[in-house]
Structure 1
Amino acid sequence: MSDAGGFVDAALQLEATWQRAITDEARIGSHLQFYGASVGAVRGTIRAVTLRYPGLGHDEITALASELWGGAVYERRLAAVVLLQTHVRRLDNSDLTRLEGFLREALTPALADPLIVDVIVPLFRSLDGGSRARANVAVQRWTSDENPWLRQAARHLVGID
C-alpha cells in the first residue's frame, strides 16, 4: 500500500466505532466490510491526505482512488469518491474507464450515486471537442449496459451540452 493509501486506511480505522459499523452494514448492506468511520471522518481524512501529500497530481490521485477502491471496505471506497470529488477538475475523459469500473463494483447506491452526481457528471460537463466525442461513445454504450448504475449514469449524461 502506498504511503498515502496507508495514511487514509489507518486514519479511517482510528475514527471507526463498532456501533457505526453495525448500523452502516444494516443500512447499506452486508456485501462490503465496514470500519465504522463517519462520513465526516472520511471527508476530514481526505482533507488531511491532500495537505500531507501536497504534490498529488492527476496520476497520483487516480492511483490513490484505485488503491482505496481496491479493498471491499465501504469507508475506503467512500474516501476514493471524496478524493475524486475534491479533484474532479484534474480528471479527463481517459478516467471514464476507471470510473466505469468503480460503478460496476459499487455494490450500493451509497457509493454509486455520489460517484455519478459528484464526479462523472461534472467531469463530463468539463469535456469538449474530441474528449467529449470519446466520452459520448462510452456513455452511449452505458445506456444499454446490464449494470444499473452505468445506465443511471448514462441517463444523467444524455443531453448535457
Structure 2
Amino acid sequence: MTSESRIDVGTLAEAVDRDLRARGGSERAQKEKAYLKSELIHFGVSVPDTRAVVRAALRGTRLSHDEVTELVRLLWAAPTDSSGPVHERRAAATMVLIQSQDRLGAGDADLIESLLREAKTWALVDPLAGDLVGPLSEQDPGFDPVLERWAHDDDFWIRRSALLAHLVPLRQGRGDFDRFSRFADAMLEEKEFFIRKAIGWVLRDTSRKRPDLVFDCILPPAHRASGVTLREAVKRLSIEQREAVLAAR
C-alpha cells in the first residue's frame, strides 16, 4: 500500500485483528490474563509479536490524523464477534498511537485520557503515559494544563499517568523535573502501590544522568516516602547517597 492509496481503516483494523488471532495461543492467553488480573479477553499474543503485527499493518502507508484515531477507536472497541474488548487489540491501538505520534498533539488529550481511564492495567497505561504522552507533552505546551489536572484526579491510573509522562524526557536528561517533583511530593504519602512505584521509577531513571538532582530531591522528604519508592529511587545513586537516603527514612 502506498501513501497515495485510499486507506480503508476498517479493513486495516480487520487485518490487524486477523493477524493477532493467528499469532495467539490459548495457554499463553490464560497465563497473561491471570498475571495481569485482567477482565479483558486475551488472544495470547506476545508484545513483540503484537508490535510486529502493527508494523506490518502500517508499513508502506502514512495514515492521516483522522485515520490514526479512527483505527485506534476500532481496535480499542470490542470486535463484533466477541463478548468484550481484547487486550492485544488495545495493545495494538496503543502502539499505533505511539508510532503515529508525529500526527498527534494536545488536541488528542481527551482521546488519550479516555483510553487511560478504560485501560485499568499498567500494561496499557504505562506505554500510553510514558511512550506517548511523555514525548507529546514535551513538544506541545497544550498538555501542561492536562497534566496538572491529571495529577489531582480521583483515578490513580490517571495520577500515575501524570507522573509517568515525565519518564522518557527525564531519563534522557531533559524534561520538567520541577513539575514532576511537585507532583511526586503531593503523592508521596499515598498508599496506592502503583503511585509509589511510579515515583520511584521516574526518580531511578532520572538518576541515570542526574543522580545529584535525585539525591537532593528525595533526601529531605525520605521520612515520608514508602519503602517501594525509596528502593527504586536509590538504585542508581552512589553508595553514600543511597545510605543517606535510607537512613533518613
TM-score, structure 2 as length reference: 0.59
- For these two proteins, the number of residue pairs brought into alignment is 155
The aligned residue for residue 19 of structure 1 is 27
Structure 1 residue runs of 4+, over 2 Å off? 155-161
Tell me how far apart the structure 1 counterparts of residues 55 and 24 of structure 2 sit (CA, whole Å): 17
Q: Give, in angstroms, the shift of residue 116 of structure 1.
A: 0.7
Flag the structure with more relative contact order, 1 or 2, with Cα contacts below 8 A and sequence separation at least 6: 1
- Which amino acid counterpart does residue 116 of structure 1 have in structure 2? A
SS in structure 2 of the partner of residue 29 of structure 1: coil
RMSD (CA atoms) = 1.8
Tell me how far apart the structure 1 counterparts of residues 101 and 63 of structure 2 sit (CA, whole Å): 13
Tell me how far apart the structure 2 counterparts of residues 125 and 140 of structure 1 sit (CA, whole Å): 14
Tell me how far apart the structure 2 counterparts of residues 114 and 156 of structure 1 sit (CA, whole Å): 9
Q: Give, in angstroms, the shift of residue 156 of structure 1.
A: 3.7
SS in structure 1 of the partner of residue 29 of structure 2: helix
The aligned residue for residue 50 of structure 1 is 58
TM-score, structure 1 as length reference: 0.89
Report Cα offsets for 1:43-91 as digits up to 9, x if no partner.
1111111126x14111111211121112221100100111111111221
- Which amino acid counterpart does residue 83 of structure 1 have in structure 2? V
Tell me how far apart the structure 2 counterparts of residues 2 and 68 of structure 1 sit (CA, whole Å): 9
Question: Is the CA contact (8 Å cut-off) linking 1:31 and 1:107 kept in structure 2?
Answer: no
Tell me how far apart the structure 2 counterparts of residues 7 and 137 of structure 1 sit (CA, whole Å): 37
The aligned residue for residue 60 of structure 1 is 67
Tell me how far apart the structure 1 counterparts of residues 63 and 53 of structure 2 sit (CA, whole Å): 15
Q: Give, in angstroms, the shift of residue 157 of structure 1.
A: 4.5
Residue of 87, 103, 112 corresponding to 1:99:
112
The aligned residue for residue 82 of structure 1 is 95
Distance 1:157 1:24, change over 3 A: closer
Question: Is the CA contact (8 Å cut-off) linking 2:120 and 2:157 kept in structure 1?
Answer: no
- Which amino acid counterpart does residue 97 of structure 1 have in structure 2? D
TM alignment of 1:79-158, pairs within 5 A: 79-127=92-140, 132=141, 134-157=142-165
Question: Is the CA contact (8 Å cut-off) linking 1:78 and 1:111 kept in structure 2?
Answer: yes
Distance 1:9 1:142, change over 3 A: same
Gaps of 5+ in 1: none
The structure whose Rg is larger is 2
Task: Give me the identity figure in percent.
Answer: 34
The aligned residue for residue 12 of structure 2 is 4
Distance 1:86 1:157, change over 3 A: closer
- Which amino acid counterpart does residue 60 of structure 1 have in structure 2? E
